Amino acid sequence: MINTRFSVAVHILSLLATKPDQRLSSSYMAASVNTNPVVIRRISGMLKQAGLLQTKPGVSGALISRSPEDITLLDIYRAVQQEDLLFSTHSSPNPDCPVGRNIQNTLDQSFKRAQNAMEAELQKQTLADVTAHLFV
């Protein structure tokens, strides 16, 4: 399931995109997100691993790694979404029940189509699209 990591990651990268020449600290970003700097550092680590932001050992702050036009929302989603699937089915339905026996396969097909549609939409939007609407 999607949690707030995705929206926080977009927030972090939006901040960095609006100040591309400044190293922003986790405390600064945490104040904007209204969360703890530890949360920012954890998500920033995921974004760094995906090549979306950069840090330097011994130097405070982070910078965006790529142009906002070259970062899709799907890139960000994949960087922070730890589970592969947006939806999952409940485990161990009753195999003696005709619904229980078939529900997982039926739902898996629907869920996969929904996941693909969401990812296709996220692929169409860039971080630049998001930041263009921040100061309107």
Closest CA to 78 of 45, 122, 109, 117: 122
| pLDDT for res 2 | 60
Q: Is the pLDDT reported for residue 85 higher than 70?
A: no
pLDDT, tens digit (0-9, with 9 covering 90-100), for 105-128:
888 888 889 989 999 999 999 999
Distance in angstroms (rounded) separating the CA atoms of residues 56 and 81: 24
Q: Return the number of other C-beta atoms located less than 10 Å from residue 111's C-beta.
A: 16
Contact 64, 53 (CB under 8 A): yes
pLDDT, tens digit (0-9, with 9 covering 90-100), for 47-77:
999 999 999 999 999 999 999 999 999 999 9
Question: What's the predicted TM-score (pTM) here?
Answer: 0.85
**In CATH, what number does 5-132 get?**
1.10.10.10
Q: Summarize the confidence of residues 37-53 as an average pLDDT.
A: 97
Token readout for 84 is 């592969």
In terms of Cβ atoms closer than 10 Å to its own Cβ (0-12, 13-18, 19+), residue 26 is buried
Distance in angstroms (rounded) separating the CA atoms of residues 131 and 136: 10
